[in-house]
Amino acid sequence: MTLLKPDLYTDAPALKGGRCAKGHVFFPMQTYGCETCGSTELRPQELKAEGALVASATVHLHNGKGREAPFTIVAVKLAEGPMVRTLLDGPPNDDLAPGTPMKAVLSGEPADLRFAPAR
Ligand SMILES: [Zn+2]
């Protein structure tokens, strides 16, 4: 499977995040320093690609190239803490309630990471 953004996620799928020496978990992995404590003792940590919906918004007019409106953007708070914003998998949906359990899926070729309601 070819991944669209292999620096951000694996084909499990899992998200490529990181953790500082004091335990703060973040996404994506970076080496500049912990956003909470400033520590530069950061190491990669794979994050479970599941969490809860925080918010969603459907885009009806889109001026960019390569993506046809309408589509829905979701903000998902991962079970391990960090927030991720990405596309909702499947057709647009304005009826998702905050708190809905969500899980990641890989969609398309090359495969991109999106989120969908968990069953
Ligand atoms: Zn820290």
Confidence (pLDDT) at 41: 96
**Separation of CA 44 and ligand 1 centre (Å):** 13
**Separation of CA 43 and ligand 1 centre (Å):** 11
Confidence (pLDDT) at 68: 86
Q: Are 27 and 84 within 8 A, CB to CB?
A: yes
Confidence (pLDDT) at 66: 81
**Cα–Cα distance, 114 to 87 (Å, whole number):** 5
Kindly state the tokens that stand for 18: 């990181």
**Separation of CA 73 and ligand 1 centre (Å):** 29
Computed over every residue of the chain, the mean pLDDT equals: 95
Query: ω into residue 91 within 30 of 0, thus cis?
Result: no
Res. 14: pLDDT tops 90:
yes
pTM (2 d.p.) = 0.90
Confidence (pLDDT) at 63: 87
Confidence (pLDDT) at 29: 96
**Separation of CA 117 and ligand 1 centre (Å):** 31
For ion ligand 1, residues whose CB falls within 5 Å: 20, 22, 24, 34, 36-37, 39
Confidence (pLDDT) at 89: 96
**Separation of CA 12 and ligand 1 centre (Å):** 27
Q: Are 88 and 56 within 8 A, CB to CB?
A: yes
**Separation of CA 109 and ligand 1 centre (Å):** 36
Q: Are 69 and 61 within 8 A, CB to CB?
A: yes
Give the model confidence (pLDDT) of 43-100 as tens digits.
999 999 999 999 999 999 988 878 889 999 999 999 999 999 999 999 999 999 999 9
**Cα–Cα distance, 41 to 58 (Å, whole number):** 39
Query: Average pLDDT of 109-117?
Result: 95
**Separation of CA 17 and ligand 1 centre (Å):** 13
